[in-house]
């Protein structure tokens, strides 16, 4: 039995193929430049070299069709026919306040996603197109929407409301929603395993750091507060997004420059953040290299990014009271030791002390690591996220009729003996090259 997961962006379609019976990933890949010309698919099958195939995809339907043909092709494929695909899980960035958990897509769900589309104008239209395209190509299997916002529906009103006229919330659903929920769900459950605690007696601060970044305060195993807001623009300094700013500043600049509302929205989402400060870069590796070469604006960008994360860690420690662990995840959180270093420097006063050698060594997606000093009041974990596995398990459980909201549902990765086969194989190879990583592997208590 195969579960397919899809994550469709405005010009891309990312996928994973999971063998449910073997509990193993068969293939992953992405179709790039969908709708804009020059499309191609990067396709990686376990045990084989990655391949690239050029193929024009003027629509998301064409992209999904290309994925299916690549997966079933006698040379590039991993499955004999489409009949082996029993469910499809779709990432949906914004579900508004309408969904507290993943759902099987029907006409009512599609209508609701259209209804809240304005809340996620940069992401939801592509997510919806992806679902519609996949349903055309695979019409006989259940399609499941996995919402980034669902995890955060446990936030209390004091966390999710803004101090603006209350009717804005009543009439227009203007409130904090939060994102990266699938990643936070996975890392929160895994952190509880590492701590040896009941997940619903666990308090965490989780930093999901990537091109888009956010921090989540988890109280008693549920989302209590988060840095992103109505949209993914609020909060941390990101690749191209400004994060927190004075709401009056855009109006000031618009008056000075004559920029339109659309121009300003584009500038805050696509021309700000690290790109806005450096003028060149969004990739932290490029910024690190430029900083070491003496680029002062790259140094400034790094300092600003770390400063903002540090502020949220302190704020969330205050609202949680007790913090059982600090967690880093996602691409930057997992690999950019120099960003983690800047964030963690000086936090000893609030009980967070890191080991510099551990921090530099533990840069891997193949294992969970601990980088806190012995005796640190609060342990620091690096937990590689696995959003696709959450999507896969949600889709399977929805198909089987066993699924429920996460407070009433248990995932395979919540077991103490859970093993990700692909990562375990990768770790064995990595340890041959970097044996010093061994002593920083996090093990369940």
**What is the pLDDT, as a whole number, of residue 112?**
93
Rounded average pLDDT over 283-303: 97
The pTM of this model reads 0.95
pLDDT at 166 over 90: yes
Q: Dump pLDDT digits (tens) for 411-443.
A: 999 999 999 999 999 999 999 999 999 999 999
Contact assessment for residue 55 and residue 43, using Cβ atoms and an 8 Å cutoff: no
Q: What is the pLDDT of residue 81?
A: 81
Q: List CB contacts of 282: < 8 A, sequence separation 6 or more.
A: 211, 239, 240, 273, 274, 275
Q: Cβ neighbours of residue 273 under 8 Å, at least 6 residues apart? A: 237, 238, 239, 240, 241, 242, 243, 282
Q: What is the pLDDT of residues 19-37, one digit of tens each?
A: 999 999 999 999 999 888 8
Average pLDDT, rounded, for the chain? 95
User: 198-383, what's its fold?
Assistant: Nucleotidyltransferase; domain 5 (3.30.420)
- Compute the average pLDDT of residues 137-164: 96
pLDDT of residue 278: 98
Report yes or no: 333 and 397 within 8 Å, Cβ to Cβ: no
- In the block, which residue shows the tokens 């993914």? 232
Question: What average pLDDT does the segment 366-374 reach?
Answer: 97
Task: Give the pLDDT score at 124.
Answer: 84
CA–CA dist 351, 380 (Å, integer):
11
The pLDDT value given to residue 47: 86
DSSP reduced 3-state for 317? helix
Count other C-beta atoms under 10 Å from residue 246's C-beta. Answer: 8
Q: What is the pLDDT of residue 245?
A: 97
Residue 119 has what pLDDT?
A: 83
* pLDDT band at 352; cut points 50, 70, 90: very high
Q: Could you check whether 2-147 and 198-383 share the same CATH topology?
A: yes
**pLDDT surpasses 80 at 10:** no
- Which residue from 52, 56, 53, 51 is spatially nearest to 34, judged by alpha carbons? 56
Q: CA-to-CA distance for 80 and 51, rounded, in angstroms? A: 19
Chain position carrying tokens 């041959």: 432
Quick one: tokens of 214? 């956010």
- Chain Cα centroid distance, residue 262: 26
| Secondary structure in 3-state letters for 195-235 | HCCCHHHCCEEEEECCCCCEEEEEECCEEEEECCCCCCCCC
Q: What are phi and psi of 90, to 5 degrees?
A: -115, 130
pLDDT of 332 above 80: yes
**DSSP notation for 70-92:** HHHSTTT-SSS-GGGEEEEEEEE
**C-alpha count within 13 angstroms, C-beta hemisphere, residue 381:** 26
Confidence at residue 385, expressed as pLDDT on a 0 to 100 scale: 96
Q: Are 187 and 113 in contact (CB under 8 A)?
A: no
Q: Are 262 and 228 in contact (CB under 8 A)?
A: no
Distance CA 148, CA 101 (A): 9
**From the candidates 148, 225, 355, 394, which is the catalytic residue?**
148
- Percentage of residues in the chain with pLDDT exceeding 90? 88
DSSP at 153: G
Q: Does 295 qualify as catalytic in the annotation?
A: no
Percentage with pLDDT > 70 across the chain: 100
Question: What is the rounded distance in angstroms from the CA atom of residue 138 to the CA atom of residue 104?
Answer: 14
In the chain, where the domains are located: 2-147, 198-383
- Residue 137 confidence (pLDDT) above 90: no
Q: For the purposes of burial, counting CB atoms within 10 Å of the CB of 207, is it exposed (0-12), middle (13-18) or buried (19 or more)?
A: buried
Q: Output the CATH code of domain 2-147.
A: 3.30.420.40
Give the residue-averaged pLDDT of 152-166. Answer: 98
Give the residue among 148, 217, 153 at the shortest CA–CA distance from 182. 148
Beta bridge partners of residue 145, listed in sequence order:
90, 103
Residue 83: which pLDDT band, with cuts at 50, 70 and 90? confident
Strand 380-382 to strand 325-329: parallel, antiparallel, or no bridges (unpaired)? parallel
């Amino acid at each position: 039995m195969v579960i397919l997961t899809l994550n469709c962006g405005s010009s891309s379609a990312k996928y994973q193929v999971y063998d449910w019976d073997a509990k193993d990933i068969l293939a992953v890949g992405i179709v790039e430049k969908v709708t804009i010309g020059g499309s191609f698919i990067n396709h990686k099958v376990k045990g084989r070299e990655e391949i690239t195939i050029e193929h024009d995809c003027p629509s998301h339907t064409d992209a999904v069709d290309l994925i299916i043909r690549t997966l079933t092709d006698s040379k590039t494929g991993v499955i004999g026919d489409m009949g082996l695909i029993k469910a499809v899980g779709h990432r949906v960035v914004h579900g508004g306040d309408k969904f507290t958990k993943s759902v099987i897509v029907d006409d009512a769900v599609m209508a609701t996603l259209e209804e809240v589309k304005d809340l996620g104008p940069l992401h939801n239209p592509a997510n919806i197109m992806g679902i519609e395209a996949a349903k055309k190509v695979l019409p006989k299997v259940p399609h499941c929407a996995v919402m980034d916002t669902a995890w955060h529906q446990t936030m209390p009103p004091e966390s999710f409301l803004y101090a603006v006229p209350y009717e804005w919330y009543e009439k227009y659903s203007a409130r904090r929603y939060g994102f990266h929920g699938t990643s936070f769900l996975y890392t929160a459950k895994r952190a509880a395993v590492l701590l040896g605690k009941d997940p619903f007696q666990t308090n965490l601060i989780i930093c999901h750091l990537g091109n888009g970044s956010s921090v989540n305060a988890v109280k008693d195993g549920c989302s209590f507060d988060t840095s992103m807001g109505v949209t993914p623009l609020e909060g941390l300094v990101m690749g191209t997004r400004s994060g927190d700013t004075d709401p009056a500043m855009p109006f000031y600049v618009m008056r000075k420059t004559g920029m339109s509302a659309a121009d300003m929205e584009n500038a805050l989402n696509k021309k700000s953040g690290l790109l806005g400060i450096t003028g060149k870069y969004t990739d932290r590796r490029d910024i690190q290299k430029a900083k070491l070469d003496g680029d002062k604006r790259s140094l400034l960008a790094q300092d600003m990014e770390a400063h903002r994360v540090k502020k949220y860690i302190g704020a969330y420690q205050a609202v949680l009271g007790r913090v059982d662990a600090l967690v880093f995840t996602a691409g930057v959180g997992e690999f950019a030791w120099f960003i983690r270093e800047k964030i963690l420097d000086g936090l000893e006063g609030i009980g967070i002390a890191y080991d510099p050698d551990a921090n530099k060594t533990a840069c891997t997606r193949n294992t969970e690591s601990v980088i806190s000093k012995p005796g640190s009041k609060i342990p620091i974990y690096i937990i590689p996220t696995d959003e696709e596995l959450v999507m896969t398990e949600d889709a399977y459980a929805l198909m089987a009729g066993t699924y429920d909201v996460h407070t009433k549902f248990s995932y395979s990765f919540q077991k103490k003996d859970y093993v990700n086969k692909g990562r375990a194989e990768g770790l064995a190879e990595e340890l041959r090259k970097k044996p010093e990583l061994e002593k920083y592997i996090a093990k369940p208590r």
